[in-house]
Structure 1
Amino acid sequence: MNYKANSPEEYIKQLPEERQPVITKLRAIISENLPKGFQEQMSYGMLGWVVPHSIYPDGYHCDTKLPLPFINIASQKNFIALYHSGIYADQKLHDWFVAEYPKYVKTKLDMGKSCIRFKKLETVPYELIEELCTKMTVENWISLYEKNVKNK
């Protein structure tokens, strides 16, 4: 679902009441645990953390006016989604996350290339997401992006 919001706070206020605490908690965990350099902003109608142009002037290859995206969280129709570009670009990180997930959640992992879907709000693995956020620096992400994504 696409919400019309100019700020993360505005976005959260528009969400269904039962989703607001989950998105608020995810936002705090991501903001507190991402390495320095990533910047929070509205991105693609979602909450996003990007590599700003001040650090990576090339921007996103699909639209260089946009900063390089890294993580997004969104309230979709039937689930809350966490989009993590590093999981898509780094097979080792992907494999680590897939192996760790069952240690935190008893239900099957519902995951696309970079999208992790949480249909049951009570099963969001906050501690695992906290650890995931610490695993990639801005420099690591730029290097992976240029190697695995940008030039494809």
Structure 2
Amino acid sequence: MQKKVDRHTRSRLKGFTLIEVVISLILLAAVMLLWRPILLHVMRCTRQDHVLITSLQAERDLQAFVQDKKLRSVALTKVSLQGADKSYSIDFFRSEHFRGMVRATGVKRGHMPIFLHLTGVNFYQTAQGFSYRLHLTTSQKIDGGVQIDEVAR
């Protein structure tokens, strides 16, 4: 008789009770519900960081582009520059199929994109060159500036 009780007790210890299974399912459901918002937040922050890093790299490229040029005029959405042999303009471009960008355009209408993923831009003339405020598609605003050695007036 003693052997039957021991075998029955050992078999109960090998499995989980119904309460343990229900509690583990509730914990799993809670983790699954909380995981999605955390993951979406991490993805959004990563995208914003990527756009910010790309904008900082583009600012460096813009500074290199205007290094040997003279500033002619600054309007709200357009900057005119004079190079050694031709004129350039840096302006905001957006179409119904393209979000928006700041691009450098030459006389022959070819263009080079500088800043991408924009909803708008504002240019302001300063004593050393011009400054700008970028309105990104992630609702961030980035302020920057470009220094030009010689300002033609």
- TM-score bin, normalised by smaller chain: under 0.3
The alignment's TM-score, normalised by the length of structure 2, stands at: 0.26
Q: Which has the higher strand share?
A: 2
Greater RCO structure (CA 8 Å; 6+ sep): 1
